[in-house]
Structure 1
Amino acid sequence: MKPLYDLIIVGSGVLGTFHAYHALKKGLRVAIIEKDKMSKGATIQNFGQVVPSGMDSKWQTYGRESLAIYKEIQSQFDISIRQNGSVYLASNEEEIQLIEELSQINQSNNYPSQMLTKQECLDKYPGLRSDYVKAGLFFPEEVTVEPRTMIYRLQEFMIHKMGLKLITNTSIINCETTIKGVCLLSAANEEFLASKVIICNGNEFKNLFPILFRESDLEVSKLQMMQTKPQQNYKLDGSILTGLSIRRYEAFYECPSFKAIKAKENPDASEKKWGVHILFKQAADGSIILGDSHHYADAKNIDDLGFDLDMDIDHFMIQEAKKIIDLPNYEIQNRWYGMYSQCKTKDIFEHTIDENIHIITGIGGKGMTGSAGFSKENITKIFNT
């Protein structure tokens, strides 16, 4: 019996879905198998900011490729992409120095960016507080997506226009190479056969290869986010990243002044304790998504992160956000947390069980920005095409 599929992806998040997308583009027969009714992990529990500007040089390359892929798909089918740019807002001289240095780095990388004066920032972003902002760095090519709908719209496009088979509510509990091909077994005792399998399991470490994950350097980050009620007669374009983001994002690690500036920070500050940096993004309904924080646990101790929201963290984030932008209202209609996996020592977790079974996870906070570009290269590598 020949395998029905050239490739099965286990996991329907953004990383798995884009692996499927690029395999379909190569004419392969592809299925995605998802344990839940729909994707519901980090792919939908995030800001929907596609910001290659925040990544180190390697991942900025993937992120820029992702921008092109998102825009190409959007030109054919509405997956909620809006090209409205990203801005980093500096609140003091140190942060100004860092955005100026990043601007120089991006000039040498031929990635468009524009320094904004204080007044230009105030003119461009309504409600931005004059006592906070000192300057800005704007990236016009960058886009936002609606995370609660983007992945489902993308999968709809792939099903109807590209021939994707999406199998949901199916938990895979075994995956092994046989003489027939790679055999997948579900909890309901269904068998699926493929020539190759890619496992993009996010932070699901208990069903497949649990010992491998338990002994890995993977960790899980829990991030708290909030959504205000819709803002009446108010528009905030693009992704708004602030001074704490400048002090946190990997792109700035490559700035000559970064290490010295980080060394001066107070290690006992609340933003350090809770891993907070303040981001704003307006959703399609006019509400503002606000956050976020970071708590970490090893993959084997994921349950230690708990299932509650820490209101002290939320109150601190609102307090800090109010110092940056005067929104018409800060009434919160939704609060949630997202969880993503990442590696302590590498930028992504890649493990080959054998030549036909590949595990790709631990992309961390780079998923929405980097997955499309990274997956394109990885599919080419796996299929030697």
Structure 2
Amino acid sequence: MIMHYDLAVVGAGIIGLAHALAAARRGLRVVVIDRDRQANGASIRNFGLVVVTGQAPGISRRRAERTREIWLDLAAEAGLDILHTGKLVAARRPEALAVLEAFSAGLDGRECRMLTADETAAHQPGLAAERVVGGLYSPFELRVESRDVLPRLAAFLGERHAVEFRLGVAVSSVEPTALQTSDGPVHAARIVVCPGDDLTTLCRERIAHYGVRRCKLQMLRLADPGMRLNSALVSDLSLLRYGGYTGLDEAAALKQRLMRECPLALDNGVHLIVVQSADGSLIVGDSHHYAETPDPFASDAVDRLILDEYAALFGAPPPVIARWTGTYASAPGNDCFSDAPHRDVRLVMVTSGTGASTCFAIGEETVADLFAV
């Protein structure tokens, strides 16, 4: 029997699941198709950090705020664990503190709190006041364990909303109302393609139009340091990677100082995010290297740059117990794009590494567009 769906979603990463959720909440019949048997890409090779503060003002910030609301809804509805909340920006340099002060004085910083050096150290055990000049605390961030929540979210969609999953099935072509797959044709009134960082299998020319390439990152898991994070933590280097900070006039002086003091870190796109898992271990990272096809090899020198930034705040790091690389789609000047190869088909790519932070809002926008009355 040939099944017909209201929406077919290609890709079972967090972006694909977000579209399935948005459609299922409208009561639509949804199928999700993925060539892999389980989530294996950028959606699980990350910090699991839903970042609101620091997102570029405007649509990116609004998407992050809405996505945070839905994560909290899902925590209650689907039993997804929020491991810790909030984010501490620990400033080591006066120039970084100046950026934070300018941010906190703006509209998007109104609910954040500036901290003295002593207050920053008091917020997070393991920090010493002499290592920082101050900080900023944001109450908005959420931390989930991506490799756990993705399969649980998929199970919730299947059990609560009757979303059908066809895993281990490759899609070879997309046509209006039909997908050709390794398991036969799939018929749907509307189609959303969420290819992650696959730049060639589907919609190759449409993707190339946006100048998309891949970003390779390196991350590490450290043994339980014996302390507990009261929130996620980021450092000065991270302020150069978020549009909410880089758009401030004060960011130029910080960048100049960092270029003098740690050029290798900047050359390798290193910044510091630290989050904690339920078992006490820490995830730290990351780095950024760009190419259409990045090599698959991790660099020990890059790992050392990440660990050096950790050590500057906390002292000697605990043992490394796991290392990995990941890749995600990246495009200049775009956090995300939605392309329409046909009026009933959408190609959606997040091109800024912010999938967990903006996915659910993007899913709602796409589904509302496709099913507008």
TM-score interval, normalised by the smaller of the two chains: over 0.9
TM-score, scaled to structure 2: 0.94
Cα separation, 2, equivalents of 1:78 and 1:339: 28
1:320: which partner in 2?
309
- Name stretches of at least 5 consecutive residues in structure 1 with no aligned partner: none
1:275: which partner in 2?
269
The superposition leaves residues 321-350 of structure 1 with CA deviations (integer Å, 9 ceiling, x where unpaired) of: 1111136x5201100011110221322132
Q: How many residues align?
A: 371
Q: Aligned to 2:216, what secondary structure does the other structure show?
A: strand
Summarize the alignment of residues 69-218 of structure 1 with structure 2, pairs less than 5 Å apart.
69-105=70-106, 108-109=107-108, 112-177=111-176, 182-188=177-183, 190-218=184-212
Summarize the alignment of residues 206-285 of structure 1 with structure 2, pairs less than 5 Å apart.
206-232=200-226, 234-266=227-259, 269-285=263-279
CA distance change for structure 1 residues 244 and 70 in 2, over 3 Å: closer, same or farther? same
- Name stretches of at least 5 consecutive residues in structure 2 with no aligned partner: none
- C-alpha displacement of 1:219: 1.6
1:346: which partner in 2?
334
The residue type equivalent to 1:206 in the other structure is T
Question: Is the contact made by 1:217 and 1:344 (CA closer than 8 Å) also made in structure 2?
Answer: yes
CA distance change for structure 1 residues 2 and 169 in 2, over 3 Å: closer, same or farther? closer
Question: Is the contact made by 1:217 and 1:345 (CA closer than 8 Å) also made in structure 2?
Answer: no
Cα separation, 1, equivalents of 2:44 and 2:53: 21
- C-alpha displacement of 1:382: 2.0
Indicate whether 1:37 and 2:37 are aligned.
Answer: yes
- C-alpha displacement of 1:212: 3.5
Cα separation, 2, equivalents of 1:340 and 1:218: 10
Q: Aligned to 2:129, what secondary structure does the other structure show?
A: coil
Cα separation, 1, equivalents of 2:92 and 2:253: 17
1:361: which partner in 2?
349
Question: Is the contact made by 2:120 and 2:129 (CA closer than 8 Å) also made in structure 1?
Answer: no
The residue type equivalent to 1:91 in the other structure is R
- C-alpha displacement of 1:351: 1.6
Cα separation, 1, equivalents of 2:296 and 2:240: 28
Question: Is the contact made by 2:270 and 2:287 (CA closer than 8 Å) also made in structure 1?
Answer: yes
- Comparing 5-14 with 146-155, greater Cα deviation is found at 146-155
TM-score, scaled to structure 1: 0.91
Q: Aligned to 2:146, what secondary structure does the other structure show?
A: coil
Q: Aligned to 2:249, what secondary structure does the other structure show?
A: coil
- C-alpha displacement of 1:148: 1.2
The CA RMSD over aligned residues, in Å, is: 1.9
1:55: which partner in 2?
55
The residue type equivalent to 1:220 in the other structure is R
Q: Aligned to 2:85, what secondary structure does the other structure show?
A: coil
Cα separation, 2, equivalents of 1:381 and 1:82: 34
Question: Is the contact made by 1:220 and 1:296 (CA closer than 8 Å) also made in structure 2?
Answer: yes
Cα separation, 2, equivalents of 1:162 and 1:145: 22
CA distance change for structure 1 residues 55 and 243 in 2, over 3 Å: closer, same or farther? same
- C-alpha displacement of 1:113: 1.0
Question: Is the contact made by 1:218 and 1:349 (CA closer than 8 Å) also made in structure 2?
Answer: no
Q: Aligned to 1:85, what secondary structure does the other structure show?
A: strand
1:7: which partner in 2?
7
Question: Is the contact made by 1:19 and 1:379 (CA closer than 8 Å) also made in structure 2?
Answer: yes
Question: Is the contact made by 2:84 and 2:232 (CA closer than 8 Å) also made in structure 1?
Answer: no
